[in-house]
Chains A and B, each alone.
Chain A
């Protein structure tokens, strides 16, 4: 299956710069949010938004065509 990923902030540095943080990734059926984070090499704490709204945990099973936005955590500033 394929999921559309939008990586925000410094997370965009995980993929080629010309992609500006956007990529479509292939995952095996049954892959979870945690599998996606592992595939992207994300070890830091992040906030994940699925299809713009839902905030799934790492065990949530993704579906073909899902849109996943991933954000870094920060407080003030």
Chain B
């Protein structure tokens, strides 16, 4: 019995021992499997990022959607997939952008307002909805940066806005013959789709959906000046009120932005001072372009420097002007300013009186002008959307205007809203550009002054711009409003274009037509941003990229004059956009820029 018991115990012990071994073995197997799984998962993640991206969803575009299909950011490491503003850093800005869009969508649902356009860039998990789950994914990446290269792209941030699949743009050197071009097309199996004569560029279909490698090869061809992917711009600006900003489109702002490359990448901001009612620093669509260091409330005594910085806009007029010149563009909110990148310096000089009206007493104006004068080295353009009719001079204001003009500050003022033939003061000062307002018909607004004296017309009717939200009385309360016809708005338009002009003008421009304070008239004399800026863009006339408009540049145009067989669009410099021929007018335009140094 005892033997049996002992035998049983031995067997039981052995079984238990084996059972432990089995358990341990099982744990080991599971652990190993998990490790193998994790390792393989990691490898698959890396594989996704190191493989060349293609048009995964066959939508004709290569963008973040494709990247997120290859490498879902919620399960794999893919910083570029969540870098929604393409600045290579995942930070709170990315979170805010998606959060704000998600909030807007929620608000729209609640109020049944028109739904904002779906934005795939913000749809981090590719589930066709931008909501808080996308925000949550981005938060997991905070602090990370986008490494180069990835997805077979030297700059994976090209995916943020995307580019067309199977598509490439080749710009040839001026001397490239048609035969040489055809040879390049054949070598890379490219099919021309369209040619852009004015920029000597051909758009072609490629066999590969991602043309990065081909792009590098083509760049080595001796007749090619540049080759690039067909990047995808968003619809000019995604500011929801863009379609209502008729003035921008009338003065050819879209062409100016993109043709003259003034879309917010100017290294040095042009600075525009606005003497007005102040500006709303808390406005969601304006704050980014309001100066953080320069502003002035002229009512406050200099012994209170902090209070001097209070330019709170109780009236809204100054905020409106600031919005025309520099509301934040392409931020999916509000309106688009004329400038993507500008520093607006508000000077509050108008205050409410006992009747509830806003007025700008001359002493306040003296303080404002003196402040501008003292800060002239930090000011490029001065907008004066105010005036007094029947006055032609004030010795002190004239003194400041003379001095500011001497220092190169562009002076812009409203002609007045009394339907007079003359302009108000200071618009009628000879050193100031007097601006009358025009409507949709490009003619004077009925109430515009300066009908026989204004230097230029600019859009001033039915202009939509920023207002402090507590003054926004319309149904949306979205911080933007329309204003009726006024030369104030028109002056702001000219100031905005003057700022754009400064952004592309050559360094130290002294020649009259390059100073940005004369505005080329068009049609009824209405402002035309593209025409104005086209002629001051130094690089356009420096065809050999020597940094100077030299004798080669002027001779290349002049020698082609009156010789159709030598026509090349690059040298068709007059009128704006070219007229298909090169003659003495082109030669004159070119020679008038001789010797200018480009930045």
Do A and B originate from a single complex? no
> A residues bordering B, Cβ < 8 Å?
none
